[in-house]
Amino acid sequence: MRTTKTILTPAIVIVLALAAPALSATVNWDGGGGDGDWANPLNWTDDAVPAPGDVVSTDGAAGVTARSVAVDAGGEYHLRDFTGTLAVLAVGVEGSGWAEVVNAALNCPILQVGLFEGSGGAMTVQSLQAGTASVGASGLGFLQLDGQMVSATGTLGLFHRSSGDMLVTQFGQWTCDDLIVGSYGNGNLTMEPGARVTAQTAIVGFAEGTIGSVSLSNGARLEAADALVVGYSGTGSLDVANAGQVACGMAVIGGMWELMEPGSGSATVSGNSSLSVAGDLFVGESGAGGLTVSGRSWVGFNDVYVGFMPGVQGDVTLDGPISTIVGTNAFVGGYGRGSVTMTGTSELNLTGRCYLGYQPGGEGVLAMG
């Protein structure tokens, strides 16, 4: 007899096939080997190292080390009350797998959720220290972060035909150096009220043909100290709603100028939300870009460039009440076409000047109504 267990996620449904006892064993850590070695059978009940498709519990395990751990074939790994280092942790290798990290101090230099094409992996994490973290490597991956996670890199949708989704729940915190949402696959990052994601650089929609999306609301905060790019060479979207906050060093919405195949990007800031850019803001740098600010929201920057490169369309829309853009200078229509449309009681506050069509061949429009 076989049963199924269904895990519902915001974007994917992963069905784990749980085999009968003859095919799937329940294996618990007992530490009988005394050396903390995951591969030592004496450390497990019945003196058997867990198989990828087993149901595994590590309650109370301390100082555990492993070269690689695979969760597959409908396996469930419960890493609870656990301390140790798993050099490689792969959840969903060729089939499906599920793992949870609860009340644990886990170091994982390589984390892959949904490793190969056709696989599906899902994880719930309370605490994790990782090197490279890939959710949706070549398959489908989902990770729910309920606590703190630190990683050198974080990629949602790593390779072609992959899909990676991450949900950062209330008060969850993820810190990484380089964040890519939709690398060569598709990626989605959802941040619930109070969630926080901090990176040096954040790219949404990296490669041509990919789709990346980020959404946050109700006090959730996304920070990118160096740069935030929405639609690098793919399609990117950023939705900041209901008192959500985004802060970054510089921001590009729509393409990067050095690329032959620029992407497209859109950003919406609504409902008392904010986008704070310490440096310059580009809306339509080398690809189509759009920024909409509404519902008492605020966007601040040094200078803003709307429709920067030849043939590019950039559009900024301010819709009242009291939606505000604050900066030094606005360059609307550089070598491309740019527009700023203001309605209601929205405000454009500049300490410098607003330039319309400031380069040869450029077109700039400022409309107020």
pLDDT mean over 80-107: 97
Half-sphere exposure of 259 (CA within 13 A, CB side): 17
Question: Is pLDDT at 14 greater than 80 in this prediction?
Answer: no
Question: What pLDDT score does 21 carry?
Answer: 37
SS3 41: helix
Question: Is pLDDT at 157 greater than 80 in this prediction?
Answer: yes
User: Worst-scoring range by mean pLDDT, 27-41, 257-271, 294-308, 311-325?
Assistant: 257-271
Its sign, for the CA torsion 70, 73, 74, 75, is negative
SS3 49: coil
pLDDT band at 236; cut points 50, 70, 90: very high
Q: Note the pLDDT tens digit of each residue in 207-216.
A: 999 999 999 9
Question: What pLDDT score does 256 carry?
Answer: 84
Q: Could you count the other beta carbons within 10 Å of the beta carbon of residue 162?
A: 29
| In contact, 64 and 57? CB cutoff 8 Å | no
Question: What pLDDT score does 232 carry?
Answer: 96
Greater confidence, 234 or 320?
234
| In contact, 216 and 191? CB cutoff 8 Å | yes
pLDDT mean over 306-321: 95
User: Worst-scoring range by mean pLDDT, 70-84, 143-157, 259-273?
Assistant: 259-273
SS3 46: helix
Q: Note the pLDDT tens digit of each residue in 135-153.
A: 999 999 999 999 999 999 9
Question: What pLDDT score does 7 carry?
Answer: 39
Rounded to whole angstroms, the Cα distance separating 17 from 23 reads 11
pLDDT band at 171; cut points 50, 70, 90: confident
Detail the DSSP E strand segments found in 10-113. 13-18, 26-28, 55-57, 64-71, 75-80, 83-91, 96-102, 105-113
Question: What pLDDT score does 259 carry?
Answer: 66
Rounded to whole angstroms, the Cα distance separating 205 from 195 reads 21
Question: What pLDDT score does 23 carry?
Answer: 64
Q: Note the pLDDT tens digit of each residue in 189-210.
A: 999 999 999 999 999 999 999 9
pLDDT band at 17; cut points 50, 70, 90: very low
> What does the longest C-alpha to C-alpha distance in the chain come to?
78
Question: What are the domain boundaries of the chain?
Answer: 169-368
Question: What pLDDT score does 6 carry?
Answer: 36
Its sign, for the CA torsion 194, 195, 198, 202, is negative
**In this structure, which amino acid lies at residue 359?**
Q
Question: Is pLDDT at 343 greater than 90 in this prediction?
Answer: yes
Question: Is pLDDT at 12 greater than 70 in this prediction?
Answer: no
Half-sphere exposure of 36 (CA within 13 A, CB side): 11
Phi and psi of 43, rounded to 5°?
Answer: -85, 5
Rounded to whole angstroms, the Cα distance separating 368 from 236 reads 28
Question: Is pLDDT at 307 greater than 80 in this prediction?
Answer: yes
SS3 42: helix
